[in-house]
């Protein structure tokens, strides 16, 4: 009797395992959040302590922090033919401006990718 019960249990387990192999479940797609830090390309315009990033389709006030201050310092090494306007490519996060004055949106620059202006060269004159 025990042998018959063992054989029936074994047959039941084998037959149930075979049917599971044929019905493999498809993996469900994983939802990801959109990255809020994007690449922006435009003109970095400085005037005193304020700065603006102006592209073809946008104008954002720049949040003045250590990265934007370093960018302003780096731009001193570039030729200023347009009165404080420098073409740049940056990564940043755009949020609504909490202050009533200024532009409606503000960009916090996270990384400076490229400054496409001409760098100033210091020419030394050779005296004869």
Q: What CATH number does the domain containing 44 carry? A: 2.40.50.140
Residues 103, 95: contact at Cβ < 8 Å? no
Number of domains comprising the chain: 1
Residue 7 inside a domain? The answer is no
Name the nearest CA neighbour of 81 among 123, 119, 124. Answer: 119
Which domain does 94 fall in, by range?
Answer: 37-115
Residue 53 is predicted with a pLDDT of 95
Residue 47 inside a domain? The answer is yes
Residue 54 is predicted with a pLDDT of 94
Residue 123 is predicted with a pLDDT of 53
Residue 121 is predicted with a pLDDT of 63
Q: Could you tell me which residues come within 8 angstroms of residue 116 by beta carbon, excluding any fewer than 6 positions away? A: 87, 88, 89
Residue 10 inside a domain? The answer is no
pTM: 0.64
Mean pLDDT score of the chain: 79
Residue 44 is predicted with a pLDDT of 93
Distance, in Å, from the CA atom of 14 to the CA atom of 18, rounded to the nearest integer, reads: 6
Residue 8 inside a domain? The answer is no
Residue 3 inside a domain? The answer is no
Intervals of the chain under pLDDT 50: 19-21, 124
Residue 120 inside a domain? The answer is no
């Amino acid at each position: 009797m025990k042998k018959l019960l063992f054989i029936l249990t074994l047959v039941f387990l084998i037959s149930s395992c075979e049917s599971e192999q044929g019905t493999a479940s498809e993996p469900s797609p994983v939802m990801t959040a959109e990255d809020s830090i994007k690449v922006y390309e435009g003109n970095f315009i400085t005037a005193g302590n304020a700065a603006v990033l102006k592209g073809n389709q946008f104008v954002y006030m720049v949040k003045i922090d250590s990265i934007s201050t370093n960018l302003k310092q780096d731009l001193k090494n570039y030729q200023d033919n347009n009165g404080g306007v420098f073409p740049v490519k940056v990564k940043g996060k755009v949020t609504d401006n909490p202050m009533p004055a200024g532009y409606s949106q503000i960009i916090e620059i996270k990384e400076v990718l490229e400054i496409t202006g001409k760098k100033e060269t210091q020419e030394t004159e050779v005296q004869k």
